[in-house]
A and B are shown apart, each in its own frame.
Chain A
């Protein structure tokens, strides 16, 4: 079993929903589709208030090189367009669509399957771009940009990321079990963008044995190699997965294509298949609803824009009165929400309802200088130093590699004194960004 070289932790997995198959959620009455669901500039709105739209119709175009277009998840009327809470924590311009129940697809979309080999490269890339496909692992980087790396970078390895190392989440696992062929087709489509002679791996952690067996049967005839990984958090990260499978290390300041690798999430491959073969835009995704405080835990395929409150009703309501933590995403890298009427977006991989977390346990104690956060950090940083400097002299954190940190949370997980290391690192990033911005405006 392979794994990445340095750092990593073993949180208890709590994958309660690994045996539950994916249920498709009925279309809720009101959908809220925010214009930022990806990394890059927000999409530009092309519909007006009160306009009638069809299912899958594009309501906002990608604006600039790094951006992704947004589509209406259902057919209905645009009720209102206003700033609304977003699972990222800020208020974002959101389009409210009231579904008319007819689920009428826009023309030319949702056709039955065609063979992707007949399509040319440009045609495939155009379909992916039009369908608004983004990385579904949690980052949300537009896939069409990722599939056209700079010319001088040679890609020789393609990795399908089935690690899903976050506790509680089982969406990718269920997807791999139920949609294996579609995912492999999607992977072949992605592979077709690169010169042949490409080595293709599928990385799956050992805590998903059924997925590994199934993938082995289906993938080996196509020449894809399934790599069994030792379960270790944060193996799902690009750098860690590349290091685990190909032993290459992506240095600080480098990107995966600098070492000739390309990593894609399982859900992204499925979305690519649906976009290219069935010309279906990205209007729904699979996510896990779990946690002690929800009545019955489920893996659901929900349309983008469904309110968390609708999902709570679908899953039987809140189980315990003392629930006070709602997380969008996993417990390690997810974000706590302050209200229930927040929509699902393209990168929401799970919704967790945590029972009353003991506040006393969250109190910050003095740092024991035990060095465990240094051992846990998978990009070789000194979290204790970064968090101390962030409180004293923010600019110097840049010298100690602040921007390499992907905020995976391993350091704060291991810290015996429960110090908020990730918080101070995020704070330092924001402060440095402001300082740079002020510097830039003064120079003009």
Chain B
């Protein structure tokens, strides 16, 4: 499998959030502002990268019977590392992400990638896959948080842009998160279905 295809499948074709619909908890909770979204995305990418590397290296030794708990422990350790690093170097991000950093452990994307990919492929490919998936996840977070911030609090990167028109506050609150994500996924499905038809038509 050539490296490039491995990398960009995570971003568009098999985007973990918008296509595979994994890890919706942090996606909904954290994307009130773009900075939070990007912070969470990068943290998850770091954990994904680390766990993919370790698991692809140690893939052979772990008995298949108990591989899920082992993966969880490895991922948990990476998550704690990230948690401590964020607390140390950017307390503001830590306050806003709050409980969702420890919850990266149970984020289905990481466990999914580890289970489906990392344990079976070579180191180089699983690194690429981790990066692809991580960037896809961050992209999805960025998209959702941009929409929610612009509509919800009339600002981008905390700088007010909509002037005197009062922003639609519901997008900053939970109901807005659900609805916004619902619409984005619907649009993604709409386009993937349309392009699929075009390809079928073309073939």
- Answer yes or no: A and B touching, Cβ < 8 Å: no
